[in-house]
Amino acid sequence: MKINQIFSIFSSLAACTIIMLYSCKPKSPATVSTGDAASKVYVAPGQYDEFYNFISGGFNGQMSVVGLPSGRGFKILPVFSVHPENGYGYTEESKPMLMTSHGFVPWDDLHHIALSTTRGEHDGRWAFGNANNTPRVARVDLGTFKTVEILEIPNSGGNHSSPFITENTEYFVASSRFSVPIGEDNQRDVPINTYKENFKGTVSFIKVAPEGDMSIAFQLVTPGVNFDLARAGKGPSHGWFFFSCYNTEQAYSLLEVNASQRDKDFIMAVNWKKAEELIAQGKGKKVKARYAHNKHDEHTHMATSTILEEVLQLDPKELEGIVYFIPCPKSPHGCDVDPSGEYIVGSGKLAAMIPVFSFTKLMQAIQNKDFEGEYDGLPVVRYESALHGVVEKPGLGPLHTEFDGRGNAYTSFFVSSEIVKWDIKTLQVLDRVPTYYSVGHLMIPGGPTAKPHGKYVVGYNKITKDRYLPTGPELCHTAQLYDISGDKMKLLLDFPTIGEPHYAEAIPAALLKDKSVKFYKIEENKHPYAVKSEKDSRVERKGNQIHVYMTSIRSHFGPDNIEGVRVGDEVYFHVTNLEQDWDVPHGFAIKGANTAELLIMPGETQTLKWVPNRVGVFPFYCTDFCSALHQEMQGYLRVSPANSNIPLKFTLDK
């Protein structure tokens, strides 16, 4: 054989191999939605969405309000974080809202949303949210879309397992993600390696009064584990609450390894009706605590912050019948109760199966004392005795489960990046769709209620990558909307979100749309510095404080020329928006202010504090385009030296 023959055979073989190897490279699964997806999410101009979707903002500390099915964003609703856009956390009125026992905290991490319910269904009164970092809970009014109350949670480190809610809004919960030593100063200053002896978890039950006032009804002191998520029972299981917990190893370092050693952690079942009985018998113990309670008053348009000094604690080790542990495989995350209230779905985030527990069986096991042992002195129900069954091989890394009200469950899988539909009774997997990418929470409108509106499921993803035009290293988070009205789930829409969404809830628009507040009635304004008529606008000096009683109406301020202010004075602009019509806010900003603008709704009074540090004439103006003559809405304030004798003077068109 000639050398060039060998060469040609060899080279053609090599070419074939390369082509074969190349064609072996797998193709990515198709990522396009099919058919009439566009028409299903198209909301024509001037038409309304079917649902309001309240989405947690995660590390932005806010909620966002989005329409479904369009995915259009309507509002960022500040809760635990300052929001310079409307002055939240900057105005004198709203600063107390962010006060805590640690002082003013301008940021937090809002993970979960619970909407108020009556008889197990959404009633459209309030949305609740949790602050994970400096433990707090908040109440948002769904008439004004405004944060109206924040309550700090004492004896807690990391309020993650919150604010899940009972079927008549009797309580919602706040349970500690990080166990910490609690009690007096000397009990809290302990070596970290004494975790097992000294660290405690707490589960707070927060009562909501009919007019909305939140208070801690009682706090359960639990073994030092990490609480993750929770759900209240409903229907037959009303009166019980279920909490997933991990780190039953009680590790305090390198948790990703050390808290993943046990084959099973727990779902903690709490009989809160029993706790109520024991409290009525005087069994609780009042202990000292320091925590802030902040409330917004819709008539004074002001928040006030009060420090509370006491909390009622129950020790389930001493008080039998409140707490039972159910073993649940591999660091459970989601802990979801189906609409009937019978099935409790645990999602071990490292597991390759989903255990489903039966409330009826759990009650039998508790009645028969069918326990497999104790955990830190508390009874552990035998796993098999409480188990309804297991969904076999559903996917990898189950996180959360929602329900469509037709007997189906939908579980998100972070690791295998998909949503899996399965039958609650038969535990058979029915369908699966990919998510883009690595879905965290998922949401069906009304999914956690007794009557879900099983039309859509939305996945809130943790990884975005190539889904949108890139914006540098920091990308938006993404959500995906699927049609679940048929047998097969169908991807309809991708939409970007604000912050990092965790849990979200959605409510039919009809429940909120018509009761949305359009403006505040000026005659009901009880702000101490409100001015209800332009002729009463004025400027007063009290020592080194200047109080400007200012009005704004299209399109001028009253007064708009102020003189006689001195360097170092504390100037308070109390601006009342005199408008009494929908969608006519006025803004207020002055040069050099070390704070954000005011954005004043019609009928409202808001206050900006400004301390001039130099002489000159300072313009102020309206920041919200209010009318055709908005650019004319301005004024001047003259600042003279600290020792000047220029008298205080103010005018409007004189």
What is the three-state SS of 311-341? EEEECCCCCCCCEEEEEEECCEEEEEECCCC
Q: Does 633 bind another protein (CB under 8 A)?
A: no
**Cβ contact 443:420 at 8 Å:** no
| Diameter over CA atoms, the chain | 114
In whole angstroms, how close is the CB of 635 to another protein at the nearest point?
17
- Residue 581 sits in the site that holds another protein (CB under 8 A): yes
Which residue stretch of 18-26, 431-439, 453-461, 579-587 sits at the interface with another protein (rule: CB under 8 A)?
Answer: 579-587
Closest to another protein by CB, 300 vs 555, is 555
Q: What is the DSSP string of 247-309?
A: -TT---S-HHHHTS-SSEEEEEEEEHHHHHHHHHTT--EEEEEEEEEEEEETTTTEEEEEEEE
| Residues 165/114, Cβ–Cβ less than 8 Å | yes
Among positions 588-627, residues that touch another protein (CB under 8 A) are 627
Q: Out of 579, 597, 604, 624, point to the residue binding another protein (CB under 8 A).
A: 579
Interface with another protein, residue 36, by CB under 8 A: no
CB 222 within 8 A of CB 190: no
Query: Is residue 634 involved in binding another protein (CB under 8 A)?
Result: no
Nearer to another protein, 290 or 532 (CB): 532
Q: Tell me the closest approach of the beta carbon of residue 598 to another protein, in angstroms.
A: 21
Determine the 3-state secondary structure of 482 from DSSP: strand
Residue 580 makes contact with another protein by CB under 8 A: yes
Stretch of 11-19, 28-36, 293-301, 577-585 contacting another protein, by CB under 8 A = 577-585
Of the ranges 275-283, 344-352, 454-462, 574-582, which one interacts with another protein (CB under 8 A)?
574-582
Half-sphere exposure of residue 345: CA atoms within 13 angstroms, side-chain side: 28
For the bound state, the minimum distance from the C-beta of residue 554 to another protein, rounded and expressed in Å, comes to 6
Residue 379's DSSP bridge partners are: 374
Using alpha carbons only, what angle is made at residue 229 by residues 225 and 232, rounded to the nearest 5 degrees?
A: 115
Quick one: which of 1, 21, 44, 628 contacts another protein (CB under 8 A)? 628
Nearer to another protein, 437 or 519 (CB): 519
Residue 441: CB minimum distance to another protein, A: 37
What type of residue is 506? A
For the record, the structure tokens of 521 come out as 């009635």
8 A C-beta contact, residue 523 and residue 543: no
Q: Are the CB atoms for 244 and 328 separated by under 8 Å?
A: yes
> Under rule CB under 8 A, which residues in 544-573 are in contact with another protein?
553-554
Q: Name the minimum Å distance from CB 629 to another protein.
A: 6
Distance CA 133, CA 107 (A): 9
Site string for another protein, 512-551 (x = CB under 8 A): ----------------------------------------
| CB-nearer residue toward another protein: 384 or 581 | 581
- Count of C-beta atoms within a 10 Å radius of residue 549: 21
From 629, 641, 646, 651, residue interacting with another protein (rule: CB under 8 A): 629
| C-alpha distances out from residue 482 to 50, 67, 459, Å | 15, 14, 8
Torsion angle (degrees, nearest 10) of CA 207, 366, 327, 248:
60
Q: Does 360 bind another protein (CB under 8 A)?
A: no
* Under rule CB under 8 A, residue 644 binds another protein: no
Please choose, out of 74-82, 121-129, 564-572, 575-583, the segment that lies near another protein by the rule CB under 8 A: 575-583
Total binding residues toward another protein, as defined by CB under 8 A: 9
Residue number with CB closer to another protein (288 or 521):
521
Assess 213 for contact with another protein (CB under 8 A).
no
Interface residues toward another protein, by CB under 8 A: 553-554, 579-581, 627-629, 632
